Structure 1
Amino acid sequence: MTERIALITGGNKGLGFETARRLKSMGFRVYIGARESERGIEAASRLNAEWLQLDVTDEESVRDAAAQLSKRENRLDVLINNAGIAGTRKAAAELTGEDAESVFATNVVGPVRVMNAFIPLMETSTNPVIVNVSSGLGSFAITQDPQRFESQVRMPLYCASKSALTMLTLQYARALPNFHINAADPGYTATDLNAHRGQQTVEEGTDAIIRLATLPPDGPTGIFVDRHGLVLW
């Protein structure tokens, strides 16, 4: 069986690193995309993986990463858009346009930039897969359910950015029918993003990502899942 090649943005820590670890253990050739060289190299070394300098907010960085990968590989099978930020913790009335631009630059524009740069290399794969790491906090249904903790969270910019990412997932899935393009909700997982307050381990938090990253050629596209199954939009 041909070795599958995967790239994970923000793969040097948290969910990204655990995703890289799990895919590596499954026989994937894994590339860790990291903004900071020292952290990227250290993370890749720990897993015996590859690494690429990749800042999703920087066009030149993303283009250079795609060019580097094209020199080293003849294709990319799996792209995981994991890099994301929570943004400022300001009260809603204090949020500024600059605050919004910062969050959307990473969480929404970043994945678009990365897909634009790497899709040409993915088109040579026999089973190209894109996983966008979204959140239940971007689900209109979940955030309106009083039984869910997400309904109590007040993070306007982060939540809106993840709603945008899930819609991008659906639209790209329809526009690129030869790809499998899906969104994953990791759930409330203990990572730097929430100061490790999450109730799930990083392994549990990556269950949905791994499921989508390892879809067979006849798997679904344009869906939103967590570790338990389908997520309502």
Structure 2
Amino acid sequence: MHERTIALVTGANKGIGHEIAVGLGALGWSVGVGARDDGRRADAVERLRAAGVDAFGVPLDVTDDASVAAAARLIEDRAGRLDVLVNNAAIAGPMPQHPTHVDPGTVRAVVETNVIGVIRVTNAMLPLLRRSASPRIVNMSSSVGSLTRQSGPDAELTAGPVAVAYAPSKTFLNAVTLQYARELRDTDILINVGCPGYVATDLNEFQGVRTPGQGAAIAIELATLPDGGPTGRFFDDAGVVPW
């Protein structure tokens, strides 16, 4: 009997994360719905199961060591391994974020979730990922983290507004992903960055032009890369995004 692929998606109770869970579940995978809020997580799992997805709830606050350790134990007890980790949970922080006026606490909070949280979860799940035949890690970033686009003449169009907490947090995440790829290059673990595009979610007060389903597509593509596929790369639906 073929074993189900086991995935964990952080921030999966709504928006892009929920649609990633939908897409992976449609492949017949067992999907852990990582979320902080008990009620929203339970509701998301119920909706996924109603759609035929083998979903299970994973209480998970990416900023809390104990919560992340407990999530790893839950997956260990349930499946004994993890095949795919999608680090999707993120916050934007209050806007505007002009560097000359920002509260340093805003920068700290955004980095804690968007960068440190990814490191915390990834390291907790690595022992389980190492037991997989084809382990994959997908870090959901944004093209606003591209230094090439931020420094270009059309930055307002290609890299969004000035946002000294959110945009650099994604640049930081991209750089962290490269460091993981370098360290893990001699393993079977493929780790890449995906940009969902400008998706209408509560992170941007639903101003985006893409649907969460469209935004989820790149994560599903990177989660299902074949063995020997790319690692340490930055992609969106159109292909490679410049660092």
TM category (shorter chain) comes to over 0.9
CA RMSD, 1 decimal: 1.2
Conservation of the 8 A alpha-carbon contact between 2:38 and 2:59: yes
Number of aligned residues: 233
List 4+ stretches of structure 1 deviating above 3 A.
Answer: 145-148
Matched residue SS, 2:100: helix
Counterpart position of 2:232 = 222
Counterpart position of 2:193 = 183
Work out the CA distance in 1 between the residues paired with 2:158 and 2:114: 18
Counterpart position of 1:196 = 206
Work out the CA distance in 2 between the residues paired with 1:191 and 1:202: 7
- 1:1-233 equivalence runs, <5 A: 1-48=2-49, 49-90=55-96, 91-147=98-154, 149-177=157-185, 178=187, 179-233=189-243
**Unaligned residue ranges in structure 2 (runs of 5+):** 50-54
What TM-score results when the alignment is normalised by the length of structure 1?
A: 0.97
Deviation for aligned residue 1:152: 4.5
**Unaligned residue ranges in structure 1 (runs of 5+):** none
Work out the CA distance in 1 between the residues paired with 2:204 and 2:151: 21
Conservation of the 8 A alpha-carbon contact between 2:114 and 2:170: yes
Deviation for aligned residue 1:147: 4.2
Q: Which shows bigger deviation, 87-96 or 133-142? A: 87-96
CA deviations on 1:173-209 (whole Å, 9 max, x unpaired) are: 1101221000001111111111111111112111211
Conservation of the 8 A alpha-carbon contact between 2:32 and 2:58: yes
Matched residue SS, 1:112: helix
Work out the CA distance in 2 between the residues paired with 1:106 and 1:133: 12
Counterpart position of 2:52 = none
Aligned-residue identity in percent: 44
Conservation of the 8 A alpha-carbon contact between 1:132 and 1:183: yes
Matched residue SS, 1:94: coil
Conservation of the 8 A alpha-carbon contact between 2:85 and 2:138: yes
Work out the CA distance in 1 between the residues paired with 2:25 and 2:153: 39
Letter aligned with residue 122 of structure 2: M
Letter aligned with residue 186 of structure 1: P
What TM-score results when the alignment is normalised by the length of structure 2?
A: 0.93
CA deviations on 1:114-165 (whole Å, 9 max, x unpaired) are: 0111100111001110000000000011223344623441111101100000
CA deviations on 1:64-87 (whole Å, 9 max, x unpaired) are: 111111111111000000000001
Letter aligned with residue 45 of structure 2: A
Work out the CA distance in 2 between the residues paired with 1:138 and 1:159: 5
Deviation for aligned residue 1:5: 0.6
Work out the CA distance in 1 between the residues paired with 2:37 and 2:162: 30
Conservation of the 8 A alpha-carbon contact between 1:184 and 1:226: yes
Work out the CA distance in 2 between the residues paired with 1:198 and 1:96: 25
Work out the CA distance in 1 between the residues paired with 2:177 and 2:223: 14
Conservation of the 8 A alpha-carbon contact between 2:146 and 2:159: no
